[in-house]
Structure 1
Amino acid sequence: MQTSPAAPRQATRPSGPETPGPAGSPPTGTAPTGPTPRKGGRRFGLTTATALVMGNIIGGGIFMIPAAVAPFGTVSLVAFVVLTVGAIALALVFGQLARRNPRTGGPYVYAREAFGDFAGFLSAWSYWITTWVSNAALAVAAVGYLDVLVPLHHSIPLEITAALAFQWLPALANLAGTRYVGAVQLVSTVLKFVPLLLVAVGGLFFFDPKNLGPFDASGQGWAGGMSAAAAILLFSYLGVESAAMSAGKVRDPERNVGRASVLGTAGAAVVYLLGTLAVFGTVAHQQLVHSAAPFSDAVNAMFGGTWGGTAIAVAALVSMTGALNGWTLLSAQAPYAAAKDGLFPAAFGKERRGVPTFGVLVSVALASALTVLNFASGAKGAFDMLVLVTTFTATVPYLLSTAAQLYWLVRGAGEKVDGGRLVRDTVLGLGAFAFSIWLLAGAGYAAVYQGVLFLFAGILVYVWMAGRRRD
């Protein structure tokens, strides 16, 4: 990546508050981190921010995840419950952090404010990787459902072309401005939420326990199988930080970011748990393991024929398009905040119609290249591989964010604050941190290995940017 001819402005390393404030409250005397929200311009309200969170969480994940975790057996349902509790804990932590620093950038802003430039850069770099790799995974998942509507006959060139179209069309919507991003997000969330609820609830009436398969199908033991399933299921909950990432675009972010994060996560959790249970109980286990469109298979099993599966395929494509729309915006927000602080090339910090256009274009180009490189393994194989890469890269900023929350709690521990609130916030922060560590452990050596390579490659970018700031 090339930087602009002018060197980025010198960023001030945050050194913590001069006077620590009460736990969970903004410090006094702290230099701002990340771009300050503009007073003008169109902002997201609570409804749109909640839709952004739900739209990003309920994307391709719910439509592909049941098949991805079926090889582990019904222990994956237990993993889903545990993961839901952890995701809500993370949402609460992000809400508390956003009240401290309601600026665009989310996990990057929190890590840099607490621990300095390098931690902030690692968080931004890792989260940025997560966003465009997730876009590649969502596009791959969308192709599986497109094949239900328009048979692609397993033609790799056709599948690649379709996957690229699913990535570039939302990118064009983003380049048109944030007004269109919000509109697309609201419409896609409504259109997909209703049919998903119908399948999730209706499927329970066709539930057959014989379809569930063994509890521990992988033979790893319930603990090992649950951890491995959770590593894949994490992809389903990516997006819990969406409102925090776009805090600078949210109206009254100190209040609405936390509310939108919790409401969006809780709503998505209900749909996820009921939907996955319905699919497990309507599609025979051996068929589900090899399915490329599990929700379509579930509806076909419920009502017979293929009309139901076709309708669900349409809903799935609407859902994934909405998720790609939201994730494309997020893919530009993390490097945007870092660029404003001089930690990413300055081009990432330039906006047009409220959207960091360079970040959108670079992210979608990288996602497209990754899609082409990995499609040879087939849609389901490519999806599983891409999901595991995001497990590691997403967990790094989650860990740093929860560590930042604990840091501020410790800094404020000597102040006169409500003891019950301090204990509650500390338990919540420790739980979210332990949850993130558990996800790393379940990702497996291959995912951690690939994720570390992606992460460490960014050190060269940091060295380059840091060197330019010293000139």
Structure 2
Amino acid sequence: MATVITPDTGHDTHPTPPSGSSGARKGEGADGGGRARRFGLPVATALVMGNIIGGGIFLLPASVAPYGTISLVAFAVLTAGALALALVFGRLAERHPRTGGPYVYAREAFGDFAGFLSAWSYWITAWVSNAALAVAAVGYLDVLLPLHGSVPATIAAALLVQWLPALANLAGTRYVGAVQVVATVLKFVPLLLVAVGGLFFFDADNLGPFQGSDSGAFGAVSASAAILLFSYLGVESAAVSAGEVRDPRRNVGRATVLGTLGAAALYLLGTVAVFGTVAHDRLVDSSAPFSDAVDAMFGGTWGGTAVACMAVVSVVGALNGWTLLSAQTPYAAARDGLFPRAFTRRRRGVPTFGVLVTVVLASLLTVYNYTAGSDGVFETLVLVTTFTATVPYLLSTAAQIYFLLSGRRDRVRGSRLVRDGVLSALAFGFSLWLVAGSGYAAVYQGVLFLFAGVLVYAWMSARRDRGVHEDREPRDAA
């Protein structure tokens, strides 16, 4: 088995490593085990695709149908922006092939506070998204199991969907990779069947109007894009887990681009196939658009059960990857003294404490969602995750622009400098558009989440500085 390379603890402006981290040598895990199986390109690509494509794809066609086929333009814009982000993350991973992704890039460029904001914001995105995915899975489980609206049974099913991937993570990266590959294969085969097979049953009369709203073309594109934003989160997956990827300088960028392209192709093909097989008036009110598409293609009512199985597998696979990512960023920040030291605990390549904290927080949020009985509150929190995800995106693209302009780490010249600069500017603009698409309420609540993190940063900084001061006192007294 290959050796896990843990993130470095030093920093240009803070050469003294945090207490407890200086003893970890390169090639050793923080848990002292030091050896774990690492991901290759196929598993890293599956991680990106599995995290981007969760349960949302099974609802997207109906969600954007009211805006008309102009929503396909939003798909194209989002895909272009996601690819720009993917390429930027690939370049950044070449510079800093370490676990933590956006956190590492922001801290290297702008210091501890920017790095903490990136890690804190990304962590919020991860565990709230996990709760959202679990709730989405329960809707499809209700087709397969006799839940019948029972609140206790529904909560139990949602918690089961979250804890099974968490247990796979706690077993080690070897099992995370195995679950990710199996889940990706199992969900892509049937989804491709619908996406490609639906083209043979395509009927242009089902498409409906090109623009289905009165908000104008730009407004319709922006409104439909706001719905689609959550479904494109995850392009940074391989970069966040760079420390667990074999040959990260080469494989992270490739996995990011390949995973994003694969997810985008399946999104577009699936949406077009459903648009062309289900009548527009029916699609607007559909709660299971892929089931309706299968029924229209092959007849019968077996489509609902088949699609429910696909959705559950898809969500479990996404939760498997997101659970790992939700622990990796606080792990990297904790190694630098910006998160509590408990987050550095690892077992078989997985930050176990981070996994447990994440799944507990997501579980509590899930229970709250069902007991409060307010879907609006939870939907707002999902939109908050779209905003909180853009904070590390903005900081990462800004870090790349800083590295290019300052010449740090390498000397990029000529056409590559221009190409990387244009990509970074496009990715930064795309990230700003994501903030605008989140809506005022989501941005407002997201900022409150960030400000809560400032208090945590103040606490951690005070503890670290106090420790440094106490270490110096005996020497000064002598």
* Both proteins in one fold, TM over 0.5: yes
Q: In the TM superposition, what whole-angstrom CA distance separates every residue of 1:403-449 from its partner, at most 9, and x where no partner exists?
A: 00000000029996431111101000000000111111121111111
Picking from 265, 276, 284, the partner of 2:279 is 284
Alignment check: 8 A CA contact 1:137 1:382 kept: no
How many residue pairs are counted as aligned between the two chains? 447
Residue type of the alignment partner of 2:253: G
CA distance in 1, matches of 2:323, 2:415: 40
Question: 1:265-284 residue pairs with structure 2 within 5 A?
Answer: 265-284=260-279
Task: Tell me the residue number matched to 2:246.
Answer: 251
1:14 paired to 2:17: no
CA distance in 1, matches of 2:121, 2:409: 33
Task: Tell me the residue number matched to 1:180.
Answer: 175
Picking from 124, 139, 148, the partner of 1:129 is 124
Change (3 A) 1:155 1:280: farther
Change (3 A) 1:317 1:14: same
Change (3 A) 1:271 1:379: farther
CA distance in 2, matches of 1:468, 1:306: 61
Residue type of the alignment partner of 1:75: I
Segment drifting more, 389-398 vs 147-156: 147-156
Picking from 62, 68, 77, the partner of 1:73 is 68
Alignment check: 8 A CA contact 2:35 2:349 kept: no
Segment drifting more, 373-382 vs 272-281: 373-382
CA distance in 2, matches of 1:64, 1:301: 17
Change (3 A) 1:195 1:386: farther
Question: 1:74-223 residue pairs with structure 2 within 5 A?
Answer: 74-223=69-218
Task: Tell me the residue number matched to 1:47.
Answer: 42
Picking from 321, 327, 342, the partner of 1:326 is 321
Q: Deviation of residue 98 (structure 1)? A: 0.4
Q: In the TM superposition, what whole-angstrom CA distance separates every residue of 1:110-152 from its partner, at most 9, and x where no partner exists?
A: 0000000010000000000111111111111111211222243
Task: Tell me the residue number matched to 2:384.
Answer: 389
Task: Tell me the residue number matched to 1:337.
Answer: 332
Task: Tell me the residue number matched to 2:442.
Answer: 447
CA distance in 2, matches of 1:244, 1:344: 20
Structure 1 ranges of 4+ moved more than 4 A: 10-13, 34-39, 376-384, 413-417
Change (3 A) 1:290 1:167: farther
**Aligned-residue CA RMSD (Å):** 2.5
Alignment check: 8 A CA contact 2:63 2:284 kept: yes
Q: Deviation of residue 301 (structure 1)? A: 2.5
CA distance in 2, matches of 1:148, 1:76: 29
Picking from 425, 428, 442, the partner of 1:430 is 425
Change (3 A) 1:270 1:289: same
Alignment check: 8 A CA contact 1:292 1:379 kept: no
Task: Tell me the residue number matched to 1:456.
Answer: 451
Q: In the TM superposition, what whole-angstrom CA distance separates every residue of 1:451-471 from its partner, at most 9, and x where no partner exists?
A: 112222111111110111111
Change (3 A) 1:247 1:307: same
CA distance in 2, matches of 1:86, 1:35: 38
SS at 1:74 equivalent: coil
Change (3 A) 1:416 1:235: closer
Change (3 A) 1:376 1:77: farther
Q: Deviation of residue 313 (structure 1)? A: 1.4
Gaps of 5+ in 2: 1-7, 16-21, 29-33, 467-478
Q: Deviation of residue 217 (structure 1)? A: 3.0
Segment drifting more, 249-258 vs 131-140: 131-140
Residue type of the alignment partner of 1:261: T
1:468 paired to 2:463: yes
CA distance in 2, matches of 1:122, 1:156: 36
Change (3 A) 1:217 1:387: farther
Residue type of the alignment partner of 2:312: L
Q: In the TM superposition, what whole-angstrom CA distance separates every residue of 1:16-54 from its partner, at most 9, and x where no partner exists?
A: 99xxxxxxxxxxxxxx9x996647421101111111111
Segment drifting more, 287-296 vs 224-233: 287-296
Residue type of the alignment partner of 1:400: L
Change (3 A) 1:208 1:456: farther
1:57 paired to 2:55: no
SS at 1:91 equivalent: helix
Change (3 A) 1:152 1:456: same
Gaps of 5+ in 1: 1-9, 18-31
Alignment check: 8 A CA contact 2:68 2:209 kept: yes
Residue type of the alignment partner of 2:55: G
CA distance in 2, matches of 1:336, 1:292: 39
CA distance in 2, matches of 1:376, 1:77: 37
